[in-house]
């Protein structure tokens, strides 16, 4: 496990800014810009929703055309620029034109991200103001940049990791926004990871896909998947270090995956109305895919999430959710443990509450004491094969309903 710092000091050759462009009514930061002084190798993972926002379509096109000369990422809040048709695409391009002009680079070197309400056009005058202000304020205030991409997030989410390799040291750093609408396959989640290591476009793409699969794709807040999901990786080589040997590439992968996992967990912790952080360790399932599917089904079950909120060790709902996941599953071969905390050692699974198709003779008071904790881990041993996956999820509270019943007003 890499040691992740919850902040970003500096990443060689990168600068960032978060400014108030007038998009948010309350004067909060609402527009972010990240710039590299040298061309970056870049990779992206995007929403699988058939309804893709304009910035997603534009970034996909640009990375397909040339993923080795990216210089900047601009992100706006308030409008998701999704379901906005030809005007939306035009506005996404116009945003990148403004950034390119301000930085004296080509528009094709700019990626854009948007988050906010679906179906409203970008207010281009405010976007222009955001570009002006942010390009004039570039520096090392990554926290401001992370704050400037927030929607219903309650706090900026960022982190970094320093890797000491045989060829030298480099940094990976990233920020993320999440909150509601977070599900398997991402959802309105935007994340940018930057590194001053040098890496090939092919290796960057593979590393990002692998890291995403084991992090952002393994969290569930509400089961929805958005039109705007984007995770970007930019590598500018500013450290002078180029991981090249198998061991160095593996180190890079581990650091990237650990950073993404940290950011993904931060998204769950800061989910809308969340009061509990729940780890679902699914082990010995038919396959890794089955383990992931079972964990995601449990994590997305509103009934299960309501029970988490009520601190109810309702294992019946967990087992029933596993049974409808559409994978091989047999309650008679299944055991379920619950424990306080997260990242438990294998030999500390806690209280066994279900085994051999039936509840054990555990005491409800013992289970209740565990369920009252802010972090809970369930270990579900399916007793079928060797497939394992860990899913991070949360409860659903009254506040979630309040926030989402009235989001647009």
* In the complex, minimum distance from the CB of residue 216 to a copy of itself, in angstroms, rounded to a whole number: 15
* In the complex, minimum distance from the CB of residue 49 to a copy of itself, in angstroms, rounded to a whole number: 4
Residues forming contacts to a copy of itself in the complex (CB under 8 A) are 48-51, 80, 82-85, 87-88, 117-119, 180-181, 185, 222-227, 300-303, 306-307, 309-310, 312, 314-317, 319-324, 328-332, 354, 356-359, 396-398, 400-409
Annotate 103-116 with DSSP letters as a single string.
HTS-GGGEEEEE-S
Whichever of 125 and 399 has its CB closer to a copy of itself, that residue is 399
Question: Where would I find the H helices in 245-287?
Answer: 246-269
Cβ atoms of 95 and 131 within 8 Å: the answer is yes
Pairing of strands 70-76, 230-235: unpaired
Degrees, nearest 5: CA angle 42-44-49: 165
| Helix, strand, coil percentages in the chain from 3-state DSSP, rounded to 5 | 35, 30, 35
* In the complex, minimum distance from the CB of residue 11 to a copy of itself, in angstroms, rounded to a whole number: 33
Both tokens of residue 136?
A: 């004039």
Residue 188 among the catalytic residues: yes
Whichever of 2 and 333 has its CB closer to a copy of itself, that residue is 333
Strands (E), 257-384: 277-285, 335-340, 351-355, 358-359, 375-381
Angle between helices 288-300 and 302-309 (to 10 degrees): 60
In 3D space, the residue among 162, 186, 340 whose CA is nearest the CA of residue 263 turns out to be 186
Whichever of 224 and 342 has its CB closer to a copy of itself, that residue is 224
Cβ atoms of 88 and 124 within 8 Å: the answer is no
Distance CA 310, CA 368 (A): 10
Whichever of 193 and 298 has its CB closer to a copy of itself, that residue is 298
Cβ atoms of 71 and 105 within 8 Å: the answer is yes
* In the complex, minimum distance from the CB of residue 358 to a copy of itself, in angstroms, rounded to a whole number: 4
In 3D space, the residue among 296, 289, 366, 294 whose CA is nearest the CA of residue 330 turns out to be 294
Distance CA 107, CA 99 (A): 7
Residue in 77, 115, 188, 327 annotated catalytic: 188
* In the complex, minimum distance from the CB of residue 271 to a copy of itself, in angstroms, rounded to a whole number: 12
* In the complex, minimum distance from the CB of residue 118 to a copy of itself, in angstroms, rounded to a whole number: 3
Look-up of token digits 């890079």: 252
Look-up of token digits 């995956």: 257
Whichever of 167 and 404 has its CB closer to a copy of itself, that residue is 404
Whichever of 109 and 335 has its CB closer to a copy of itself, that residue is 335
* In the complex, minimum distance from the CB of residue 300 to a copy of itself, in angstroms, rounded to a whole number: 8
Distance CA 145, CA 228 (A): 18
Whichever of 67 and 80 has its CB closer to a copy of itself, that residue is 80
Hey, which residues are catalytic here?
188
């Amino acid at each position: 496990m890499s040691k992740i710092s919850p902040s970003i000091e500096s990443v060689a050759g990168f600068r960032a800014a978060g400014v108030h462009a007038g998009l948010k009514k309350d004067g909060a930061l609402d527009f972010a810009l990240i710039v590299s002084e040298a061309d970056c190798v870049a990779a992206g993972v995007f929403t699988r929703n058939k309804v893709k926002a304009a910035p997603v379509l534009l970034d996909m096109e640009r990375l397909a055309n040339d993923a080795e000369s990216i210089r900047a990422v601009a992100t706006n809040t308030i409008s998701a620029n999704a379901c906005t048709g030809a005007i939306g695409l035009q506005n996404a391009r116009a945003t990148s034109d403004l950034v390119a002009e301000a930085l004296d680079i080509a528009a094709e070197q700019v990626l854009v991200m948007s988050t906010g309400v679906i179906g409203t056009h970008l207010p281009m005058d405010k976007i222009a103001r955001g570009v002006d202000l942010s390009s004039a304020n570039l520096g090392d205030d990554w926290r401001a940049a992370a704050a400037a991409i927030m929607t219903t997030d309650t706090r900026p989410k960022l982190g970094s990791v320093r890797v000491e390799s045989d060829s030298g040291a480099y940094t990976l750093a990233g920020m993320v926004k999440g909150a509601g609408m977070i599900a398997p396959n991402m959802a309105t989640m935007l994340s940018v990871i930057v590194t001053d290591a040098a890496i090939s476009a092919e290796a960057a793409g593979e590393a990002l896909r692998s890291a995403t699969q084991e992090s952002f794709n393994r969290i569930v807040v509400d089961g929805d998947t958005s039109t705007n999901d984007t995770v970007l990786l930019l590598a500018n080589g500013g450290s002078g270090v180029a991981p090249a040997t198998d061991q160095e590439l593996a180190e890079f992968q581990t650091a990237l995956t650990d950073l993404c996992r940290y950011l993904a967990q931060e998204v769950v912790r800061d989910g809308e109305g969340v009061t509990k952080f729940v780890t679902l360790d699914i082990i010995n399932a038919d396959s890794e895919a089955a383990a992931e599917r079972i964990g995601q089904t449990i994590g997305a079950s509103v009934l299960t999430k309501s029970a988490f909120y009520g601190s109810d060790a309702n294992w019946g709902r967990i087992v029933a959710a596993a049974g409808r996941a559409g994978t091989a599953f047999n309650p008679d071969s299944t055991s379920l443990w619950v424990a306080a905390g997260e990242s438990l050692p294998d030999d500390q699974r806690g209280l066994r509450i279900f085994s051999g198709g039936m509840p054990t003779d555990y005491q409800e008071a013992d289970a209740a004491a565990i369920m009252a904790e802010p972090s809970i881990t369930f270990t579900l041993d399916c007793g079928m094969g060797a497939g394992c996956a860990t899913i991070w999820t949360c409860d659903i509270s009254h506040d979630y309903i309040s926030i989402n019943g009235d989001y647009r007003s």
